[in-house]
Amino acid sequence: MVARVKAARCPICKKDLAKRDENFPFCSARCKLVDAGNWFEGAYRVETDHPDSRWGDN
């Protein structure tokens, strides 16, 4: 049985890409910047059960 290798895709524009691409895991510098902007604007977040006293109401 041969294992199938899943093609890498840019998480922003969904284009196929090679793992040797200098912008991996993105297809371009533009998609890399779009992703960074999404993090900056709060479009992504990491959930946690631990309150962070730096951000809580004290």
Across 3-34, b (16+ Cβ under 10 Å) vs e yields eeeeeeebebeeeebeeeeeeeebbbeebbee
Distance between CA atoms of residues 32 and 21, nearest Å: 12
Q: Quote the pLDDT of residue 57.
A: 57
Q: Is the whole model's pTM more than 0.75, yes or no?
A: no
User: What's the confidence (pLDDT) of residue 4?
Assistant: 60
Domain 9-47 sits in CATH 3.30.50.10: yes
Which pLDDT does position 5 carry in this prediction?
Answer: 59
Per-residue model confidence (pLDDT) at position 48: 77
Q: Which residue has the higher pLDDT, 51 or 14?
A: 14
Average pLDDT over residues 21-47: 92
Per-residue pLDDT band for 52 (boundaries 50, 70, 90) equals low
